[in-house]
Amino acid sequence: MAISDIDLIDAWKQVLTLSRLKAGDIVTVLTSDTTHPQTLRTALIAAAGLGARVNRLDLPPVNGEKAHSRDSLAYLGTTPLTGNRAAIAALKESDLVLDLMTLLFSPEQHKILSSGTRILLAVEPPEVLARLVPTEADRARVFRAAAQLEGAREMHVTSRAGTDLRCPLGQYPAIKEYGFVDEPGRWDHWPSGFILTWPNEGQANGRIVLDKGDILLPQKCYVNEPITLTVKEGYITAIEGGLDAELLKDYMGEFNDPEAYALSHIGWGLQKRARWSTLSLYDRESTIGMDARAFEGNFLCSMGPNNEAGGDRVTACHIDIPMRNCTVSLDGNVAVREGKVIDNPAE
């Protein structure tokens, strides 16, 4: 069901208030051809209504001839900001950037954040945004999970389907995503609600078994038959199974990049209002699947870049895989047991 402009303006005002927007702040709304018109117009009204000085920067899309789909995360090459000094300068001079285009995994985003500018990504359909408006309680829950993850030396992930993966930790920080940007230089994504990190380079080993009902992104499809991924020294060395495995192999093989097979971020979902089943209700081109990434208790593993965490691995291919019914342990302490989050593992 559609959302009224009034409701979405109210949602924007809640998120902007949580993001500490003040009267007189400079807000730049970053848009492209795929920006949802209702999300744009309500963002402009909400920011202006809170007293901000609001600009819009509209940039043409790139990489369409290279990407395998219209999903903004299907190809992570250059962005509309690549080499665009004027646009970068404008964004660095902004207090807050509302990214309705998708800059994720770009060096330009890091340059902008380093200036103290806050960036909030919001590209899901309006009704998803309205349903998953972040709260202070979401932030508190993510911080509690971060306290479990920070300082852990190993993540061990198992499942009845056959997953048995060990990831040494410590090289990369714990990244908190809770849906708003309340600190200088912070990036976040509305909607979200999860915790993640990256395994130490070249040290993850084991087996990941994708079971029926697990999700592949950006394919935005549910797995129909098991896929077994063999992990050796931080890289996927084998993808085995039936048709689903063949489709995944073909998609990744087209990038012709060995770095695409590196194990990327790992973590778990914490958002109680996100639903595993929502992906089945949307056209594939209308969503990037944030319900799938954030739903409570999923183990979210990925393949591809690590530059978002300060690493130097850049690849145009990025696969996110929300998995159900996994057990995630940190140094022997269970954080998620068979898809159920353990908020107080010491108890």
Mean local confidence (pLDDT), 113-117: 97
Question: CA 152, CA 161: separation in Å to the nearest integer?
Answer: 25
This prediction has a pTM of: 0.94
Question: CA 110, CA 79: separation in Å to the nearest integer?
Answer: 13
Question: CA 339, CA 238: separation in Å to the nearest integer?
Answer: 25
Q: Where in the chain is the domain with CATH 3.40.50.2300?
A: 5-131
Mean residue pLDDT of the chain comes to 94
| Residue 162 one-letter amino acid | G
Does residue 70 carry a pLDDT above 90? Answer: no
pLDDT-based confidence at residue 286 (cuts at 50, 70, 90):
confident
Question: CA 238, CA 228: separation in Å to the nearest integer?
Answer: 8
pLDDT-based confidence at residue 69 (cuts at 50, 70, 90):
confident
pLDDT-based confidence at residue 1 (cuts at 50, 70, 90):
confident
Q: Please, where are the H alpha helices in 50-160?
A: 85-92, 107-114, 126-131, 136-149
> Which CATH code for domain 5-131?
3.40.50.2300
pLDDT tens digit sequence for 124-176: 999 999 999 999 999 999 999 999 999 999 999 999 999 999 999 999 999 99
User: Are residues 118 and 97 in contact, defined by beta-carbon separation less than 8 angstroms?
Assistant: yes
Cβ neighbours, 10 Å, residue 14: 15
Nearest to 97 by CA among 155, 3, 166, 28: 28
Does residue 65 carry a pLDDT above 90? Answer: no
Crossing angle (nearest 10°) for helices 5-18 and 37-49 = 60
What does the pLDDT read at residue 347?
42
Does residue 325 carry a pLDDT above 90? Answer: yes
Mean local confidence (pLDDT), 195-202: 97
Question: CA 14, CA 4: separation in Å to the nearest integer?
Answer: 16
Instruction: Mean pLDDT check: name the lowest of 28-32, 220-224, 312-316.
Output: 312-316
Query: Buried b vs exposed e over 214-229: b needs ≥16 C-beta within 10 Å?
Result: bbbbbbbebbeebbbb
